[in-house]
Amino acid sequence: MAASNFVRRGAGVPAEAPDGERPRADKGPQGTGDALQVTREARDQTLVVRVVGDLDIRTAATFRQQVDEWFLASDHRRLVLNLSRVTFLDSTGLGAVLGRVRRVRDAGRQMVIVPPGGVSRAVLDVAALGRAVPLYRSERAALDEEAQTHA
Amino acid sequence: MPEAPYNHLALEVPSLPVNAELCRLTVAVFAAELPFTLGEIEQLKVAVAEAVGNCILHAYPGEPGRIALRARLADGAVVVDVEDWGRGIADVALARQPSYTTSTDPDHVGLGFAFMEQFTDALEVVSAPGRGTLVRMRKRPAHGQDAVGQQAGLSPRPEEGTGADGRPLRP
């Protein structure tokens, strides 16, 4: 069985957390719960966005919103989208990635991707992602401007 | 070698995004009875997720509706039915074309059926406008014990014309 290691609690989260903190808007049956984590790290002109978990019909809108807010609405010139820890990718997730590629290009900025492995890579390859955007084997390679080690 | 055990499941869920994951994980666990590789199980998960995703996005674009998930093991393969009673598809052949989409969302790539085709061995789609859609997918382990049976000319496919529950397909 190849389920990911993430414990998903999205569907069973109580309306009010025990410590009294307001429930996050993305919890609940329609939210992303813990299935997806998107984090960022700014490095000069480059913004690294790391995606961990499932990028799918349930979580794609959150991913899309975060990247657009963090990158397109910022002054960063280059986006390194690290998908190497994506555990599941469906066509909705793929569409969200391709949509970001298009929007970044339309904004006249640069974007590179560190792809996931396994079947998720095959999903990206069906859409010929490598022709639309440079793919790198690792985040390190993507960050090293001198390294031309395309995956 | 012992025969693959007969097993089946039936599940009904509302067309909420969270249930795409529930369905794909359910089928993954169900299919693990057969000698699938991890990669094949991942492929099956994508195919199921796409079928359920179509129900969520297209069959019931407004209010959530019913999705039936059925699966069975037959002749060394897993057969999965995903059925809805939603909007239906007027032209199935056109809808199955890669990159065809009815969505106005620019991020919608229209590759759902393409992934179902790519990641299973057989895909059948029965649909009528206003009556819903039945998607049936079949997948067999590429290097499982059943490859022997196939070479020996034993029945390689479940009987035609029936769904995952063994009942006839709707017209």
Q: Where are the domains of chain A?
A: 33-149
Q: Does residue B155 carry a pLDDT above 60?
A: no
If you compute the radius of gyration of chain B from its CA atoms, what whole number of angstroms results? 16
Average pLDDT over residues B90-119: 89
Give the A window 104-143 contacts with B, CB below 8 Å. 118-120, 122-123, 126-127
Average pLDDT over residues B136-165: 59
Residues 6+ apart with CB under 8 A from B129: B87, B88, B89, B90
Query: What CATH homologous superfamily does A33-149 map to?
Result: STAS domain (3.30.750.24)
Q: Which residue of B has its CA nearest to A118?
A: B39
The closest alpha carbon to A97, from A76, A139, A58, A68, belongs to A68
Tell if the CB–CB gap between B53 and A90 is shorter than 8 Å: yes
Report pTM.
0.80
Q: Does residue B17 carry a pLDDT above 90?
A: yes
Residue A126 tokens read as: 């069906």
Spatial distance between the Cα atoms of A135 and A80, rounded to a whole number of angstroms: 10
Q: Does residue B82 carry a pLDDT above 90?
A: yes
Rounded to a whole number, what is the distance in Å from the CA of B60 to chain A's nearest CA? 14
**Chain B residues touching A120 at Cβ < 8 A:** 42
What are the b/e assignments for A21-32, b being 16+ CB within 10 Å? Answer: eeeeebbbbbbb
Residues 6+ apart with CB under 8 A from B147: B141
Spatial distance between the Cα atoms of A65 and A61, rounded to a whole number of angstroms: 6
Q: Which helix (H) or strand (E) holds B128?
A: strand B122-128
Spatial distance between the Cα atoms of B82 and B47, rounded to a whole number of angstroms: 11
Which of B50, B111, B139 to probe by mutation at the A interface, max A CB count within 10 Å?
B111
pLDDT of residue B1: 54
Average pLDDT over residues B79-101: 92
Q: Does residue A151 carry a pLDDT above 60?
A: no
